[in-house]
Amino acid sequence: MKNKTIAGFSVTKCSAFQFFKKRVRRWMRSPKVSVDKYQPAHMRNSDTFVSTPTQKDAEPQLWCQSHCQECHLCQVIANTPDVEECAHTKARSCKVNNSTKVMPYLNLLLHTQVLLAKRKHDDEFYAVKVLQKKAILKKKEEKHIMSERNVLLKNVKHPFLVGLHYSFQTADKLYFVLDYINGGELFYHLQRERCFLEPRARFYAAEIASALGYLHSLNIVYRDLKPENILLDHHGHIILTDFGLCKENIEPKGTTCTFCGTPEYLAPEVLHKQPYDRTVDWWCLGAVLYEMLYGLPPFYSRNTAEMYDNILNKPLQLKPNISNAARELLEGLLQKDRTKRLGAKEDFNEIKAHVFFSPINWVDLNAKKLMPPFNPNVSGPSDLQHFDPEFTEEPVPNSIGKSLDNALITASIKEASDAFLGFSYAPPIDSFL
């Protein structure tokens, strides 16, 4: 093994480092993973939806049509901008209606951008997620987007779920205005530290479990838990984000059967195309906890077909460098039979009662009274040290919120507008003011 320095961090060049390096490279190059290619014959040609990070757009254009604006937020964020230079980022930024400044990319995926914006009258920072309607309609994901919007509206009262402040649409794009979280992705920190000590992994797992338990109490199954969807806030607390694969209206004994998720974290029942329930989230929690403790997902293989076979058939292997409580928890969460999985009977109550979490005071945890084991040490909202420079150095187009002169309402624009009726949201005027 060799030591290597990345962004000032000393990283041991080992299997975990190689895994992350190749995983990021694969995501940057491949716009989509073909699931059918790796599925058993009886699962092919079925309705599948697998979430995989994708490569960024080349020079995305953020033109907005003023005639499709739906709510008063458009008067704040989606009017004609004047372009100026944002000194601290060396990137182009936009003044929007003299109220909002749009700054660098925080993330950039195919057909999706996440931008940093600051409302000028109070200097509040927001993350603005921008989605291309055309791409959503092409992949028939309208229901997923509306479900994400609905779930976001329910998250505002939980400390470990990202909150939605506004949502609105233009002729060709959808906008989510979200909490701005700048402590970095859990994946980002795992990439640099290889794995976490058990107390740190326990703290993160407890906050994640609390968030999942809250979603389950609202009859929502998350279905896409992975380190890339877990953020750290400026104090080091967990924030769960990206609710595009959530399934609503799943009662305690209810099931669903859509094939979706991320390959490394798919539960056996999902791969088998069997009906599954809330316990699919506890499997994913086990996979993430395993990755935090060992540096790799539990059944990982570079060969996707082999990885799927491992998930379905390979016994769980646990190295001896964890406590008996951690071993017992992983064995319970990564139980291949969902009816015997930890959480199958009493859901979140089973998880928090496990001996692994005995050091956790759950009331204090949810009140954010427990000191996080790691502080991202950000100097303020404009501190972007935990974001990949590949995204933050990307120039922001000077057309955000700007309408084309004499724009034509085409049939495709009309169809896109009709597909997302009721998407827009703004808080009451008095809370906005």
Task: Look at 71 and 416; give whichever has higher pLDDT.
Answer: 416
Q: Which CATH architecture has domain 4-25+105-181+381-419?
A: 2-Layer Sandwich (3.30)
219 pLDDT band (50/70/90 cuts)? Answer: very high
CATH number for domain 185-367, candidates 1.20.1340.10, 1.10.10.10, 1.10.510.10, 3.30.300.30: 1.10.510.10
Neighbour-count burial of 190, counting CB atoms closer than 10 A to its CB (0-12 exposed, 13-18 middle, 19+ buried):
buried
Is 60 exceeded by the pLDDT of residue 58? no
Kindly write down the DSSP assignment for every residue of 361-405, as one continuous string.
-HHHHHTT-SPPS------STT--TTS-HHHHTSPPPTTTT-PPT
Residue 377 CB-density burial (10 A; 0-12 exposed, 13-18 middle, 19+ buried) = exposed
Structure tokens at 126: 């927001």
The two three-digit tokens of residue 102, written as one number: 């749009």
Lowest average pLDDT, out of 94-103, 225-234, 340-349, goes to: 94-103
Same topology, domains 4-25+105-181+381-419 and 185-367? Answer is no
Burial readout 13-29 (b: 16 or more C-beta within 10 A, e: otherwise): eeebbebbeebeeebee
What residue spans define the domains of the chain?
4-25+105-181+381-419, 185-367
Q: 140: pLDDT confidence band, cut at 50, 70 and 90?
A: confident
**Which residues does the annotation mark as catalytic?**
224
pLDDT at 290: 98
- Given a contact cutoff of 8 angstroms between Cβ atoms, the answer to whether 113 and 127 are in contact is no
Q: What is the pLDDT of residue 157?
A: 80
- The one-letter code for the residue type at 322 is I
Question: What's the Rg (C-alpha) of the chain?
Answer: 22
Least confident of 77-91, 267-281, 312-326: 77-91
- Region 150-176: mean pLDDT is 88
pLDDT for residue 187 is more than 90:
yes
Exposure of 31 by Cβ count < 10 A (0-12 exposed, 13-18 middle, 19+ buried)?
middle
**Residues in CB range of 376: below 8 A, 6 or more apart:** 182, 183, 184, 232, 234, 235, 236, 386
**pLDDT band of 310, cuts 50, 70, 90:** very high
Closest-CA residue to 298 (of 286, 313, 281):
286
For residue 346, pLDDT over 90 is answered with: yes
| Statement: residue 57 has pLDDT above 60 | no
Query: Hey, what amino acid is at 51?
Result: S
Which pLDDT belongs to residue 422? 84
